[in-house]
Amino acid sequence: MIAEVEHDTMGTMKPVTIFNDGRGSVVKWEIENIDGQEERILAYKIKSKLSILGQFTLPKGSAAFFTEKNVKFVTHSSTVTIKP
């Protein structure tokens, strides 16, 4: 809640939606199809609403996908800590 997503700094693939879920901002992309060895970089920038002293930790990101047999998998990233 102390940072906001800068809407005009998205990469080449724009998110479908950006919303607040009560805990903070959610940036959501939807990718129709992706091959097994294909990679995509989804980028965004955030800006602090306050001056931050010390470190700042971003929560885990997650990705959900379906296999060809329509089995759903969810994977999570590591947390990211930004230190001054």
Please give the model's pTM, rounded to 2 decimal places: 0.68
Tokens of 37: 């060895």
Q: Which residues, in sequence order, are CB contacts of 72 under 8 Å at separation 6+?
A: 64, 65, 66
Confidence of residue 51 (pLDDT cuts 50, 70, 90): confident
Average pLDDT over the chain, rounded to whole? 83
The answer to whether 28 and 15 are in contact (CB under 8 A) is yes
What amino acid is encoded at 81 in this protein?
T
User: What pLDDT digit, counting tens, does each position of 62-81 carry?
Assistant: 989 888 899 999 999 999 88
Q: Which helix (H) or strand (E) holds 20?
A: strand 17-20
**CA 62 → CA 10, 33, 79, distances in Å?**
18, 17, 11
